[in-house]
């Protein structure tokens, strides 16, 4: 049975809906933004679900150099 594609929901300011991102390194607090993100690699998270058992597989692929 093939995996089903989906996404992990992330809610931002004012409950603004968006897809989750993977962020490089350990979380560092920021007074104004919640977490410090400047200069860190951020990648969209792709999620896949097995409809038979519910297993979730998540991937954050690095784009090819020419696409960055």
Predicted pLDDT at 48 = 96
Predicted TM-score (pTM) of the model is 0.72
Q: Identify the residue whose tokens are 């897809």.
A: 19
Residues 60/45, Cβ–Cβ less than 8 Å: yes
Instruction: Report the C-alpha gap between 68 and 65 in whole angstroms.
Output: 5
Predicted pLDDT at 67 = 61
Predicted pLDDT at 40 = 93
If we measure between CA atoms, which residue out of 11, 10, 13 comes closest to residue 47?
Answer: 10
Residue segments in the chain with a per-residue pLDDT below the cut of 70: 66-68
């Amino acid at each position: 049975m093939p995996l089903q594609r989906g996404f992990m929901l992330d809610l931002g300011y004012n409950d603004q809906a968006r897809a989750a991102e993977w962020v490089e390194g350990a979380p560092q607090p920021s007074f104004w933004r919640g977490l410090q993100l400047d200069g860190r690699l951020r990648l969209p998270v792709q999620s896949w679900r097995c409809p038979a058992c519910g297993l979730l597989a998540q991937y954050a692929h690095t784009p090819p150099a020419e696409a960055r």
